[in-house]
């Protein structure tokens, strides 16, 4: 494997984003969860914790987190800024409702038909509304011939084509689809996460200025649980994680955050 200086991956604080998906449904559940995180935030001080809520729960979560360092965002945004698009939530509307970031191109959205072109349009919308885009990339399966690298490179190149000036705050989440929604023993091996993180940095450097590319935090997502978070963090060469099912319960999410704090580089 290529040897890379540790500053290659440097980020001031590790970042862990919880993606609640549809696991949390009511303002009451959402408020209870973030209040627990807030109450226990000293136990993971130095680790940034963000939560991606369903758009309808933004007001409750924003209210419960007022004055805290925890940040809230949404799980997707529209590719359009305005117009006849029933059911869509625009980037501006999410931002005006208190969102700090948006997940973009999650594999569960891509599986419902979102194309690379939709992802690119959402990235532009996020950046122009002032939302930090968390761009998800990842292969659906791994093959011996290394085709997964081409899949990820193509997702990055097409998402960033023509958007160089908009990517100052970009975050990339590498989420191999085959590793999502399972248990810790099914997550990717730390050495493979590290290899892909290096590859993603190199690919970003083709689309962005090299210094900007080196600054983009790369997160890993796919069956991160309290059991594997610390080792994946210390050996995986990533800036943090995008966590799905384990973020929907305060106890498991806090365990992940505490584990990372104890293993911070």
Give the catalytic positions in this structure. 106, 175
Of 65 and 242, CB closest to ligand PEP: 242
| Least distance to ligand PEP, CB of residue 245, Å | 4
Query: Which two three-digit tokens encode residue 229?
Result: 């978070």
- The residues near 191 (Cβ < 8 Å, ≥ 6 apart) are 1, 235
Q: What single DSSP character describes residue 95?
A: H
Of 120 and 245, CB closest to ligand PEP: 245
64 closest CA partner among 54, 73, 72, 56: 72
> In the chain, where does DSSP find H-type helix?
27-39, 58-65, 91-96, 107-110, 116-129, 147-160, 190-207, 210-215, 226-236, 250-262
Of 92 and 190, CB closest to ligand PEP: 190
Question: Helix axis angle, 27-39 relative to 58-65, nearest 10°?
Answer: 30
Report which secondary-structure segment, H or E, holds 101: strand 101-104
Of 237 and 244, CB closest to ligand PEP: 244
Query: Which two three-digit tokens encode residue 263?
Result: 């293993």
Of 105 and 222, CB closest to ligand PEP: 222
188 closest CA partner among 152, 150, 145, 139: 139
The whole-angstrom separation of Cα 138 and Cα 177 is 6
3-state secondary structure of 218: strand
| Least distance to ligand PEP, CB of residue 49, Å | 15
| Least distance to ligand PEP, CB of residue 247, Å | 7
| Least distance to ligand PEP, CB of residue 35, Å | 22
Burial of 72: CB neighbours in 10 Å, binned 0-12, 13-18, 19+: buried
The whole-angstrom separation of Cα 99 and Cα 87 is 18
| Least distance to ligand PEP, CB of residue 175, Å | 5
Kindly list the residues in this chain that would bind ligand PEP in the complex (CB under 6 A): 19, 175, 180-181, 221-224, 242-246
């Amino acid at each position: 494997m290529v040897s890379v200086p540790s500053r290659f991956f440097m980020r001031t604080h590790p970042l862990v984003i919880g993606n609640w998906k549809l696991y949390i449904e009511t303002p009451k559940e959402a408020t209870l969860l973030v209040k627990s995180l807030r109450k226990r935030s000293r136990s993971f001080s130095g680790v940034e914790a963000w939560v991606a809520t369903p758009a309808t729960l933004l007001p409750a979560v924003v209210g419960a987190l007022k004055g805290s360092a925890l940040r809230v965002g949404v799980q997707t945004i529209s590719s359009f800024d305005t117009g006849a698009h029933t059911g869509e939530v625009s980037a501006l509307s999410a931002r005006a409702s208190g969102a700090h970031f948006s997940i973009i191109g999650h594999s569960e959205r891509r599986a419902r038909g979102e194309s690379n072109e939709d992802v690119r349009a959402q990235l532009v919308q996020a950046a122009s509304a002032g939302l930090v885009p968390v761009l998800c990339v990842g292969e659906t399966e791994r093959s011996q011939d290394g085709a997964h690298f081409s899949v990820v490179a193509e997702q990055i190149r097409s998402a960033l084509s023509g958007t160089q000036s908009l990517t100052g705050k970009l975050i990339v989440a590498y989420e191999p689809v085959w590793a999502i929604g399972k248990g810790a023993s099914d997550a990717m091996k730390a050495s493979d996460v590290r290899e892909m993180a290096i590859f993603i940095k190199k690919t970003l450097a083709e689309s962005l200025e090299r210094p900007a590319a080196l600054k983009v935090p790369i997160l890993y997502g796919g069956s991160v649980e309290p059991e594997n978070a610390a080792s994946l963090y210390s050996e995986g060469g990533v800036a943090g994680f995008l966590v799905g099912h384990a973020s929907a319960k305060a106890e498991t999410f806090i365990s992940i955050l505490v584990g990372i704090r104890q293993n911070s580089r």
